[in-house]
């Protein structure tokens, strides 16, 4: 099964999945938006059914908000929610050619980077699309090499692989790009049906010149 098939199959019950797993993405976003100012152009990557888009629209009623996701069914659900100005079906393993350089003030990339085969490519695309001074809110599933039973390098949803990263690896990926990291914290992202408390690295970074 591909990640697209996985999320297509979950699209109509995604809100229930968020609730059942106590996924903290929407809450973390809400808590960290005060650091963001008043963006006029926002991109929500891996937007799913618009659960984070609803938070963004509530906070920034006048902003132009774009949602991007690989799952067509998630995009259909997001369209019904009416919180985005623009929705794009796109695989974020490929360059985001639909979005112009320096056109966004805020990019949200929560809850999906563990599915990417080349997260560095996406980080480069985000720095291309963010204006200088723009903010990136990002998460990765976290790997703890000293306690791999609690936070393994890889996990699976069915046959779909999630690859986790150490907080140092996340810092190094960001250092290779023009970002200043304002915050990098570890929090439990969600708790799976089998009781796995999945740790996430959450980041707030600001696009620098250069």
For the bound state, the minimum distance from the C-beta of residue 150 to ligand SAM, rounded and expressed in Å, comes to 20
Residues that bind ligand SAM (CB under 6 A): 3, 7, 25, 46-48, 51-52, 69-71, 74, 91-93, 110-112, 115-116
Decide if 165 contacts 145 (C-beta within 8 A): no
Residue nearest to ligand SAM (CB): 111
Both tokens assigned to 71: 């799952």
Residue among 26 and 209 whose Cβ is closer to ligand SAM = 26
Residue among 70 and 130 whose Cβ is closer to ligand SAM = 70
Q: What is the Cα–Cα distance from 93 to 87, expressed in whole angstroms?
A: 17
Residue among 160 and 181 whose Cβ is closer to ligand SAM = 160
Residue among 31 and 175 whose Cβ is closer to ligand SAM = 31
For the bound state, the minimum distance from the C-beta of residue 170 to ligand SAM, rounded and expressed in Å, comes to 16
Residues 6 or more apart whose CB falls under 8 angstroms from that of 155 comprise 141, 161, 162, 164, 196, 198
């Amino acid at each position: 099964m591909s990640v697209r098939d996985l999320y297509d199959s979950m699209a109509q019950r995604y809100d229930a999945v968020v609730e059942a797993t106590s996924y903290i993405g929407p809450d973390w976003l809400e808590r960290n938006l005060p650091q963001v100012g008043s963006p006029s152009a926002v991109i929500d990557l891996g937007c799913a059914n618009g659960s984070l888009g609803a938070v963004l629209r509530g906070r920034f009623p006048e902003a132009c908000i774009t949602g991007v996701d690989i799952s067509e069914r998630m995009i259909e659900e997001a369209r019904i929610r009416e919180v985005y100005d623009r929705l794009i079906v796109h695989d974020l393993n490929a360059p985001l050619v639909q979005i112009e350089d320096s056109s966004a003030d805020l990019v949200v990339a929560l809850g999906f980077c563990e599915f990417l085969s080349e997260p560095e490519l996406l980080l480069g695309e985000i720095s291309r699309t963010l204006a200088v001074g723009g903010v990136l809110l990002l998460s990765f599933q976290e790997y703890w090499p000293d306690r791999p039973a609690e936070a393994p390098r890889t996990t699976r949803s069915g046959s779909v692989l999630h690859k986790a990263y150490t907080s140092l690896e996340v810092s190094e990926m960001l250092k290779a790009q023009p970002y200043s990291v304002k915050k990098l914290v570890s929090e439990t992202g969600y708790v799976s049906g089998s009781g796995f408390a999945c740790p996430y690295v959450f980041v707030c970074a600001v696009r620098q010149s250069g």
